[in-house]
């Protein structure tokens, strides 16, 4: 990851029942952090990230558990954080493609067509990256 930014950054959050994806990106699309965390400590992880990065807002997907998570974040974060919901349809499919761009396959995996390869780890953090990018694209439209 890159050195902590001096300008405000956006926290991407892909909430789930078991695990959540987190990503931090600048307005210049520099990626500073991404990780998949278990759902239970996700809010504590967000609080830690807020101490390390100048997070200006949180962007999260608008699907399955969004309303529940938005309420939990609002109730449990000490300082309110502006939360923006973004359309997350097809983000998992897009995240699979992005995974292989970020982490090109090695060995025999290279020979398999991309659609046949299985991603070797959860990609919720990559979904969080895509959510930030979707938000930034909305800003520039």
| CATH number, residue 18 | 3.30.420.140
Answer yes or no: is 82 within a domain: yes
Answer yes or no: is 3 within a domain: no
CB 36: neighbour CB atoms within 10 A? 18
Answer yes or no: is 17 within a domain: yes
- Among the listed residues 23, 102, 35, the one whose alpha carbon sits nearest the alpha carbon of residue 61: 23
pLDDT at 77 (0 to 100): 87
pTM: 0.90
- What is the count of structural domains for the chain? 1
- Among the listed residues 15, 34, 18, the one whose alpha carbon sits nearest the alpha carbon of residue 86: 15
Angle (CA) 11-117-114 rounded to 5° is 80
Written as tens digits, the pLDDT of the chain (141 aa) is 556 677 899 999 999 999 999 999 999 999 999 999 999 999 999 999 999 999 999 999 998 788 899 999 999 988 888 999 999 998 988 999 999 999 999 888 888 888 788 899 999 999 999 999 999 998 877
Domain that holds residue 99: 9-140
pLDDT at 94 (0 to 100): 92
Answer yes or no: is 94 within a domain: yes
């Amino acid at each position: 990851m890159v050195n902590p930014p001096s300008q405000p950054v956006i926290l991407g959050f892909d909430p789930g029942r078991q695990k959540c994806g987190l990503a931090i990106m600048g307005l210049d699309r520099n990626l500073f952090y991404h990780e998949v965390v278990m759902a239970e400590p996700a809010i504590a992880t967000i609080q830690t990230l807020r101490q390390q990065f100048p997070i200006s807002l949180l962007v999260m997907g608008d699907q399955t558990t969004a309303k529940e998570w938005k309420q939990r974040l609002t109730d449990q974060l000490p300082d309110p954080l502006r939360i923006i919901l973004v359309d997350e349809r097809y983000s998992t499919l897009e995240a699979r493609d992005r995974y292989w761009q970020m982490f090109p396959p090695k060995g025999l995996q290279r020979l398999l067509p991309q659609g046949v390869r299985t991603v070797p780890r959860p990609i919720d953090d990559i979904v969080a990256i895509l959510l930030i990018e979707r938000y930034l694209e909305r800003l520039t439209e």
